[in-house]
């Protein structure tokens, strides 16, 4: 039986407004009604895996506001174990302010809130000093502090769990950041990046493998994904779907891929499941609202 999938990462409330055009500095543009939805890369990937039938635990922080209550309730409703999601008094929950132009161009302002307070001692407190066990999978992103992500990766490796890193969003380069990223790459088993993130790390997939990960996966949007491991490289084409909104597609891919790899599926099959989940997410608007179920993914795969 597959182990548990533990996601260490962010929880945000997304507030989106559609506008005919983005406002210039100092200008006011009237938009449509605000659409509120749960987001954050960590929570999105946790929900993605849970909808596909995974046993999922979320580790993160929310504030003591109404958004925090709603975010935790949303996880629980999806079957995600939220007992390791802490609440900070006097701190707001993470918030993303999204303005979307008619042609899809958008601006996003992110207020990390409680996510920025997920330090290493807090991680240890939330997990009781035991993040994972043998046979589990730990899924990480970069919307919480880098030292915490690194500590989680070390804990996963020490426990004999599979460590999967979605290196997104890639932070601005700098001596401290570059050092921590180098250490992080050296202690994860699977690295998932998109094309721009791969370029930002300054290497092609094979060269990224040489920095530590046994497997490197590069997502290619509608074109699918490619991967490199110790044996060979693999290319999985995308699925032809009527895409309306790519928000959440990458998180759907990561949740499905991590779940499949944790269950022991071969890399090509895991890639195919990830591409199917990502394609289906692109056919619906929103982040968590767009994430597909296991039955939907199975139907797209023809089984």
CA angle 141, 142, 147 (to 5 degrees): 110
Token pair 């605000």: residue: 34
Which residues are 163's β-sheet partners? 138
What number of other Cβ atoms are within 10 A of residue 199's Cβ? 13
Say which of 14, 82, 136, 251 is annotated catalytic.
Answer: 251
Q: How far apart are CA 71 and CA 69, in angstroms?
A: 6
Q: Which of 60, 68, 126 is nearest to 95 (CA)?
A: 68
* H/E segment holding residue 165: strand 162-166
Both structure tokens of 243: 């895409």
CA dihedral 237, 255, 43, 81 (to 10 degrees): 160
- What is the C-alpha to C-alpha distance for residues 29 and 22, in angstroms, rounded to an integer? 7
> Do the strands 215-219 and 225-228 form a parallel or antiparallel pair, or are they unpaired?
antiparallel
Q: Is 154:187 a contact under the CB 8 Å cutoff?
A: yes
Strands of 5-8's sheet in order across: 81-88, 56-63, 5-8, 137-140, 162-166, 190-194, 215-219, 225-228, 233-236
Task: Please indicate whether residue 251 is annotated as part of the active site.
Answer: yes
Checking phi first, is residue 62 left (phi over 0); if not, alpha (psi -120 to 50) or beta? beta
Q: Active-site residues: which are they?
A: 251
């Amino acid at each position: 039986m597959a182990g548990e999938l533990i996601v260490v990462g962010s929880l945000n409330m997304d507030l989106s407004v559609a506008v005919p055009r983005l406002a210039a500095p100092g200008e006011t543009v009237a938009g449509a009604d605000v659409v509120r939805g749960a987001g954050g890369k960590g929570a999105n990937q946790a929900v993605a895996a849970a909808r596909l039938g995974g046993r999922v635990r979320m580790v993160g922080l929310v504030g003591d506001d109404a958004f925090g209550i709603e975010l935790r309730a949303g996880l629980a409703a999806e079957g995600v174990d939220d007992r390791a999601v802490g609440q900070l008094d006097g701190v707001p929950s993470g918030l993303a302010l999204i303005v979307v132009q008619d042609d899809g161009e958008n601006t996003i302002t992110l207020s990390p809130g409680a996510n920025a307070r997920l330090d290493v001692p807090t991680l240890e407190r939330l997990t009781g000093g035991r993040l994972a066990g043998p046979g589990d999978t730990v899924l990480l992103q970069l919307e919480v502090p880098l030292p915490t992500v690194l500590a989680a990766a070390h804990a996963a490796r020490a426990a004999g769990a599979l460590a999967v890193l979605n290196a997104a969003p890639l932070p601005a380069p700098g001596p401290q950041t570059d050092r921590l990223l180098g250490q992080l790459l050296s202690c994860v088993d699977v690295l998932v990046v998109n094309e721009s993130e791969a370029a930002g790390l300054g290497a092609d997939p094979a060269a990224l493998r040489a920095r530590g990960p046994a497997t490197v996966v590069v997502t290619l949007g509608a074109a699918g994904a490619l991967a490199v491991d110790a044996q060979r490289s693999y290319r999985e084409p995308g699925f032809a779907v009527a895409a309306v909104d790519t928000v959440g597609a990458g998180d759907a891919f990561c949740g499905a891929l991590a779940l499949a790899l944790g269950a022991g599926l071969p890399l090509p099959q895991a890639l195919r499941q990830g591409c199917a989940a990502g394609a289906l997410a692109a056919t619906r608007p929103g982040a968590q609202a767009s994430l597909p179920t296991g039955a939907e993914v199975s139907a797209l795969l023809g089984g």
